[in-house]
Amino acid sequence: MSDLPRKAVVRTAKLAALPLGFAGRTALGLGKRIGGRPAEMIATELQQRTAEQLFATLGQLKGGAMKFGQALSVFESALPEEIAGPYRAALTKLQEAAPPLPSATVHAVLAQRLGEDWRELFAEFDDKPSAAASIGQVHRAVWHDGREVAVKVQYPGAGEALLSDLAQLGRFARLLGPLIPGMDVKPLITELRDRVSEELDYGLEAAAQRTFAAEFADDPDVVVPAVVHQGDEVLVTEWMEGVPLSEVISGGSPEERDRAGQLLARFLFSGTARTGLLHADPHPGNFRLLTGHAPDGPPEEWRLGVLDFGTVDRLPDGLPPTIGTSLRMTLDGRADAVYELLCEEGFIKDSVDLEPDAVLDYLLPIIEPAQAEEFTFTRGWMRNQAARIADPRSPAHQLGKQLNLPPAYLLIHRVTLSTIGVLCQLGATVRLRDELTTWLPGFVQPAPAAEPAPIPTQSIRDASPDAETGTGTGSPIGAATDEEDAEETSA
């Protein structure tokens, strides 16, 4: 392969082959079944071939196709094991590697973006990429000052490829149903497409990474590599060793899984509270487990390395307090209060009339991890939740169709679900409630306010010129005038 496949007609044909290929193999399988081969053997063979085709196509195309595959790999925990099994290995590959671009193409990009003398910036540069992602690949190098660095090079034509892929995937999202049973992929594709411009802008990514790196510079739990140099389509950051989270998922010890899960949950909530930014690409390829100087050291010393800040949600005030408040009230069983808050925030539209207790019953199983002191996330638990909501015959499915997700919560919702998906892949036991208590606004009930001291009658008279006559126009204590309402609204 000499370059990133850019022609829309070529990419469209390759993507269209995914559902068509699945249909062809299904027909072939039916023929074999009629010929006497066991149905289970045929189904396994079909799923394995489909997984291989999925990885080969999405990996070669990179761009939006690969990004779509990475997003899907996080959600495999929700699929039945007999379906998820054949896809797991293939999709997990997309979290760490893909077919690389040739050296000549990489060198051309570096010469164009860093100058013809780009080699002088590096004491060493490894032409073989250490990782390949959806819009760029990473090379290990040594900066001219001796620091080990990661050089992220954007694929030529990545922007065009991203838009082309996601537009095409959106057109036949319904046809992808057989590839990802039980999952509605169209909203996922739409949200990915909305983030394209930010993903391609390495200037925005560098700014976000600098913010996180500065905030977590001396943190005992989280490590963010510093930005060394940033140019158009090239980003140089400090190199970070560590065990990729995908390897912890596939073969980590229980201690590694639990520690990685706890730190992942901590970063999800603390990162936004501390930086005003939400890291919005939580697939395992973007995380490392760092064991420090002693690989066999105690788990409490292990830290979480975080990579790739190309997609962030800007939340200067942190996560909306509505999330924490509604979560706390749900745990307390306050059905009417939860219902009222969801209506105010637009989760339940004015045209919809639901029973508050039914809404509470819908939410409680989902937030089970926040109820206990510690909770073990498993694929089985995730599958049960997905099945409960996806089954058209279940009350949860019927109620879920009537709920609304306001635009301001779309990315927060996807990031939270993705993180839970990774926790289930890890099979981690996590003290989630501790992280919510520490970092989630509104989750902790405020202490009752102290009784205010009585205000002398004379003070009230002094504050209102017409108090003695009873004809004053002052507002009652605690109520805002129209002008005050206007000021608060404009603020």
Q: Which residues are catalytic?
A: 281
Instruction: Output the CA–CA distances (angstroms, integers) from residue 40 to 24, 45, 72, 405, in the order listed.
Output: 18, 9, 25, 39
Short-list 422, 387, 390, CA closest to 74: 422
Quick count: other Cβ atoms within 10 Å of Cβ 442? 20
The shares of helix, strand and coil residues in the chain, as percent rounded to the nearest 5, are 55, 10, 35
**And the tokens for 2?**
């000499």
Q: What is the DSSP string of 291-324?
A: -TT-TTS-GGG-EEEE---SSEEE-TT-S-HHHH
Instruction: Output the CA–CA distances (angstroms, integers) from residue 25 to 5, 28, 65, 79, in the order listed.
Output: 26, 5, 21, 21
Separation between Cα atoms, residue 490 and residue 217, nearest integer Å: 37
> Do 431 and 438 form a contact (C-beta atoms < 8 A)?
no
Short-list 245, 231, 247, CA closest to 151: 231
Separation between Cα atoms, residue 133 and residue 429, nearest integer Å: 29
Return the half-sphere exposure (C-beta side, CA atoms, 13 A cut-off) of residue 34: 6
DSSP strand pairing (234-238 vs 227-231): antiparallel
**And the tokens for 72?**
């899907």
Q: What is the DSSP string of 211-242?
A: HHHHHTTT-SSEE-PPEEEEETTEEEEE----
- R_g of the chain computed on alpha carbons: 26
Q: What is the DSSP string of 458-473?
A: HHHHHH-TTTTTT---
> Do 9 and 164 form a contact (C-beta atoms < 8 A)?
no
Separation between Cα atoms, residue 139 and residue 149, nearest integer Å: 8
Q: Please name the helix (run of DSSP H) or strand (run of DSSP E) that holds residue 149, with its range, or none.
A: strand 148-154
Separation between Cα atoms, residue 35 and residue 31, nearest integer Å: 6
User: DSSP 3-state assignment of 124?
Assistant: strand
Residue corresponding to tokens 């780009």: 118
